[in-house]
């Protein structure tokens, strides 16, 4: 009969051997990946900034991997539907998601969440950031940020300046809310079902201003149907070199950008995370990709998974305070 010590030793050796086998299998899987098409979920409608970013990355990854990377637009619920679909997928690397700043905002915006951004998602890379632009109609008396603050204070008795957005809790709504809090002025939010109808009303002068993504605002600004008075990023953008930042226009230290990151489902094997993240970052370093993103005022970041995890934690804490101070609630 085997002694208890012998049995324990054999059990320990078996456990170690099993771990080594599993680790070896994970590394082999990572080296062979991908052996079939990969799905990249974009949790927004086709045609917008997210769709352009997702399809640009997918195209180059398809070339890198020799397997098709299929973009699936799955919008709704402030991007929760698409992100949740990725979070609930198998952690094998065949379902990825391009998430926006919403992944840090939504836990504080909605009463209930179908997924936990920390537990149910695996960070891969913070891909890039894009600026917002403050827009007014061409006929507006508002020429700069100081004018906007004075205008909002003058109209404080009637609710302040009116601003449009793509909906309650959208990144455009939150950008304007951050400005309102920093400038300490009254502003009335007018939510729309998407940015297009909001821009239409802005051009017609039915609302006073709007924060919009630079990529979608540029055609209207360059065509003269809208006027840009400031950008939200730390530095001016190449596409609008004469438009100052909010920070240099009366609110020192103001800095805000949309950001876009790629995640996989939670509990992905470390070797697979390293492989996928590394390949995506190589794609983001491609001069053609960088030019495409620069054309829509995007700044490539291409972070490590660890840097994205830290960024998500920092952003989550920031937006918790902003959302709670404003008392904003989503539709869920």
Question: What is 35-129+258-326's CATH topology?
Answer: D-Maltodextrin-Binding Protein; domain 2 (3.40.190)
Q: Of 175, 288, 303, 290, give the one whose Cα is nearest residue 238.
A: 290
Alpha carbon distances (Å) from 83 to 27, 51, 60, 101: 27, 14, 22, 12
CA 193 to chain centre: 19
Delimit the CATH 3.40.190.150 region(s) of the chain: 35-129+258-326
Q: Looking at the whole model, is its pTM more than 0.85? A: no
| Assigned CATH class of 131-249 | alpha beta
Delimit the CATH 3.40.190.10 region(s) of the chain: 131-249
What distance in Å separates the CA atoms of residue 44 and residue 315, rounded to the nearest whole number?
Answer: 20
What distance in Å separates the CA atoms of residue 296 and residue 132, rounded to the nearest whole number?
Answer: 11
Question: What is the full per-residue pLDDT of the chain (332 aa) written as tens digits?
Answer: 445 455 445 545 545 444 544 445 455 578 899 999 999 999 988 877 888 899 999 999 999 999 999 999 998 888 999 999 999 999 999 999 999 999 999 999 998 999 999 999 999 999 999 999 999 999 999 999 999 999 999 999 888 899 999 888 888 899 999 999 999 999 999 998 888 899 999 999 999 999 998 988 999 999 999 999 999 999 999 889 999 999 999 899 999 989 999 999 999 999 999 999 999 999 999 999 999 998 878 999 999 999 999 999 999 999 999 999 888 876 55
């Amino acid at each position: 009969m085997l002694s208890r010590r012998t049995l324990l030793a054999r059990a320990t050796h078996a456990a170690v051997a099993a771990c080594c086998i599993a680790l070896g299998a994970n590394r082999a899987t990572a080296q062979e990946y991908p052996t079939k098409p990969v799905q990249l979920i974009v949790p927004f409608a086709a045609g917008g900034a997210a769709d352009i970013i997702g399809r640009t990355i997918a195209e180059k990854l398809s070339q890198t991997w020799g397997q098709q990377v299929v973009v699936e637009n799955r919008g709704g619920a402030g991007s929760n539907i698409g992100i949740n679909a990725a979070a609930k997928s198998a952690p094998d690397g065949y379902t990825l998601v391009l998430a926006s700043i919403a992944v840090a905002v939504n836990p504080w915006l909605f009463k209930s969440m179908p997924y936990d951004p920390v537990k149910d998602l695996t960070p891969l890379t913070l891909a890039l950031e894009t600026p917002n632009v403050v827009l007014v109609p061409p006929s507006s008396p508002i020429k700069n940020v100081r004018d906007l603050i004075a205008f909002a204070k003058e109209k404080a008795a009637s609710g302040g300046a009116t601003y449009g957005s793509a909906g309650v809790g959208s990144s455009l709504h939150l950008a304007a809310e951050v400005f309102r809090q920093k400038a300490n002025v009254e502003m009335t939010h007018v939510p729309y079902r998407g940015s297009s109808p909001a821009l239409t009303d802005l051009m017609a002068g039915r609302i006073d201003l709007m924060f919009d993504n630079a990529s979608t605002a540029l055609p209207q600004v360059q065509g003269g149907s809208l006027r840009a008075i400031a950008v939200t990023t730390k530095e001016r953008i190449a596409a609008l070199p004469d438009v100052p930042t909010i920070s240099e226009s009366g609110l020192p230290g103001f800095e805000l950008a949309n950001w876009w990151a790629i995640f996989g489902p939670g509990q992905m094997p470390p070797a697979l995370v390293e492989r996928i993240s590394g390949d995506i970052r190589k794609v983001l370093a491609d001069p053609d990709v960088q030019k495409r993103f620069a054309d829509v005022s995007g700044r490539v970041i291409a972070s490590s998974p660890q840097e994205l995890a830290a960024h998500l934690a920092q952003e989550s804490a920031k937006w918790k305070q902003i959302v709670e101070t404003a008392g904003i609630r989503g539709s869920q």
